Amino acid sequence: MTGLLRVEEAQARIFALARPLLRETLPLPGTIGRFLAEPLIARRSQPAAALAAMDGYAIRFADLPGPWRFSGSIAAGQWPDRSIAAKEAMRIFTGAPLPGGADTVLVQEDAVADADVITLTGEGPALAGQHVRAAGSDFNESAALLAIGSQVTPAGVALAAMAGYAALSVGTMPHVAIITTGDELVAPGAPVGRAQIPESNGVMLAALLARVPTTLGTMTHVGDDRAAIIDAIHDASGAHDVIVTIGGASVGDHDHVHAAITSLGAPPDFWKVAMRPGKPLMAARLGRAMILGLPGNPASAFVTAHLFLLPLIRYLAGASAPLPAIAHAPLGSDLGPGGQRRDYLRAVFDGHGLLPCGNQDSGGLASLAAANALLIREAGATAQTAGTLAPYIVI
């Protein structure tokens, strides 16, 4: 459609406007959810030496089937003070380093100790090296463990600790302001007049932002007043990296966001995207702040937040893959042809197939709350039958 950007082009233009933030170094527990500003390179090997993977006896595999002479014991955290000779066995516990000469662990269930003699009673190890964690079997010193831009997970924190780190360099968290607009809106829980509705988009976006590394600053509501909108955006621009406006982004007489940011010297880089819901989207830059103008209908705000706002936050915070992942699953029912814009249909993936929700109106919240996926139907797509693989985004 003339004048409408493709979703991918709009995403690229937002990233081109944005400037990734600086990095900071934090103790490991504080890095969860952040994105690495430097690759994680192992400072040590793990294990640094061959370790017992089971309780038992350290032996030479060549000495099977025994018997062996008992020659001492070694626990985790102790270093063997001697090697074993032929036909010797050393009592060993899980995590303890193998003594020199040993290459295998005979598990305790397969052996009996009688005074200083260890006798095989079970099948014993089938291969040399059995029940042993070889040196460097997890990773070796200087190995690249996590790439720059990777998101730090609890397992990643454990990996970093094992690799020799107490702190990591990560991207800083963007500061975000949310500005909702509309005379018809009242605060959640407040009395609602006949011509009013509760304001739900601000709290919804705040909840979505909790999924990404952000610091939520101000949450402001203003009516359909251009001067008030200008003041709210101006006030937020000095202390925030991202300003999200909700509503007022269309072409009605009471839609003032476009004019407001233009009057502040930040005309939108683009306006309107070839998608449904969520066409009236705008992006601009005002000083340090990126401005995203999202449409006011709940489903439109939700979809554009997933496709543009959350990726922007990840990009600013240093993510190497800021865009939402596209998965594929079979359709659980027939799907009609596409229209002139790409559709992001609220859907439920039940583990077997994608089922579009019945109500796709952009104001429908019940179907949005029931959905766990956005089913993607391309503009001009032909009708699809149940069982056809279709792309979707997990929400």
Which CATH number applies to 7-22+172-316? 3.40.980.10
- The three state secondary structure string of the chain is CCCCECHHHHHHHHHHHCCCCCEEEEEHHHHCCCEECCCEECCCCECCCCEECCCEEEECHHHCCCCEEEEEEECCCCCCCCCCCCCEEEEECCCCECCCCCCEEEEHHHEEEECCEEEECCCCCCCCCCCEECCCCCECCCCEEECCCCECCHHHHHHHHHCCCCEEEEECCCEEEEEEECCCEECCCCCCCCCCEECCHHHHHHHHHCCCCCEEEEEEEECCCHHHHHHHHHHHHCCCCEEEEECCCCCCCCCCHHHHHHHCCCCCCEECECEECCCCCEEEEECCEEEEEECCCHHHHHHHHHHHHHHHHHHHCCCCCCCCCCEEEEECCCECCCCCCEEEEEEEECCCCEEECCCCCCCCCHHHHHCCEEEEECCCCCCECCCCEEEEEEC
What is residue 254's predicted lDDT score, i.e. its pLDDT?
54
User: Span 327-394: which CATH code?
Assistant: 2.40.340.10
pLDDT at 248: 75
Class of domain 51-133: mainly beta
pTM, to two decimals: 0.90
pLDDT at residue 249, rounded to an integer: 66
At 1 the pLDDT is 42
The domain spans of the chain are: 7-22+172-316, 24-44+152-171, 51-133, 327-394
Q: What is the mean pLDDT of each run of 10 residues along the chain (395 residues)?
A: 83 96 97 98 97 97 96 94 96 97 97 94 95 97 98 98 98 97 93 93 96 94 93 95 87 73 92 94 95 95 97 98 97 95 97 94 94 97 97 97
